[in-house]
Amino acid sequence: NAGVTQTPKFRVLKTGQSMTLLCAQDMNHEYMYWYRQDPGMGLRLIHYSVGEGTTAKGEVPDGYNVSRLKKQNFLLGLESAAPSQTSVYFCASSSGSGSEQYFGPGTRLTVT
Amino acid sequence: ILNVEQSPQSLHVQEGDSTNFTCSFPSSNFYALHWYRWETAKSPEALFVMTLNGDEKKKGRISATLNTKEGYSYLYIKGSQPEDSATYLCALNTGNQFYFGTGTSLTVIP
């Protein structure tokens, strides 16, 4: 079991470029989440999904889009990257809304 | 946006000492309270998920209590060991949404 994996691990983008972060889980979890981690702040929820084909906004969704076409994958897209999106992005999954979350290793994104 | 506060922000204790941290949260919209342990260069790992007022959970030397009416949870570590050094996060779960505190960074000095 790989658990939760994230691709890529690191990325540098220029302002205005686009990219997609991939999260994959092999635990057959229904729920998946995308968070960002910034210095001095707690993990903040960007978007989440409660099942294949569903997505919903979290606390800080602006500037991001997501898709959950397959149960095991949750994609986070940045259409036009901004320096304010420089952050470490974590994906997580869980079996239910109140269940413990399993986190991926994170993706460090720098937007110059 | 719901405010989840953790105190202290950081803590240094001697090996063998017992310690505790606090997580405060708004008691409205409560569904569950999560505790995670986050070691440097790793990902957060779940310690406890607590749902009932008065809940007490234990895992080895680590335990947690929950008071949903007054909106706080305590995490206790008995006989701290160097391997307990990590950041401890709490998160308020309001159903599908999660609101994390900024964590308590624990350093256990051998």
CB contact under 8 A, A100 and B49: yes
Q: Give pLDDT tens digits for A17-32.
A: 999 999 999 999 999 9
Cα–Cα distance, A62 to A5 (Å, whole number): 24
Residue A63 pLDDT > 80: yes
pLDDT computed for residue B24 by the predictor: 97
pLDDT of residue A97: 84
- What pLDDT does residue A73 have? 98
In the numeric block, which tokens belong to residue A9? Answer: 């691990």
In the prediction, which pLDDT does A109 show? 97
Lowest mean pLDDT among A39-43, A74-78, B20-24, B78-82: A39-43
Mean pLDDT of A64-78: 97
Pick A42's closest partner by Cβ from B45, B97, B103. Answer: B103
Report pLDDT for A82: 97
> What is the predicted pLDDT for the residue at B2?
84
Q: Which residue has the tokens 């981690």?
A: A37
Write b or e for each residue in B1-35: b if 16 or more Cβ atoms lie within 10 A of its Cβ, otherwise e: eeebebeeeebebeeeeebebebbbeeeebebbbb
State pLDDT tens for residues B4-15: 999 999 999 999
Question: Are the beta carbons of B79 and B63 closer than 8 angstroms?
Answer: no
- B8 DSSP assignment: -
Number of alpha carbons in the 13 Å side-chain half-sphere of residue B98: 35
Question: Angle A42-B9-B64 (CA atoms, 0-180°, nearest 5)?
Answer: 85
Q: Both tokens of residue A94?
A: 């869980």
pLDDT for position B27:
87
The nearest alpha carbon in chain A to B30 belongs to: A98
- pLDDT at residue B28, as a whole number: 85
| Chain A nearest-CA residue for B98 | A45
Low-confidence spans in chain B with pLDDT less than 50: none
Query: Does the beta-carbon distance from A48 to B96 stay under 8 Å?
Result: yes
Mutation site for A-interface testing, chosen from B34, B38, B100 by largest number of A Cβ within 10 Å? B100
How close, in Å, is residue A109 to chain B by CA atoms? Answer: 16
What are the chain A neighbours of B97 within 8 Å (beta carbons)? Answer: 45, 48, 58-59
Q: How much of chain A, in percent, has pLDDT values that exceed 90?
A: 92
Residues 6+ apart with CB under 8 A from A62: none
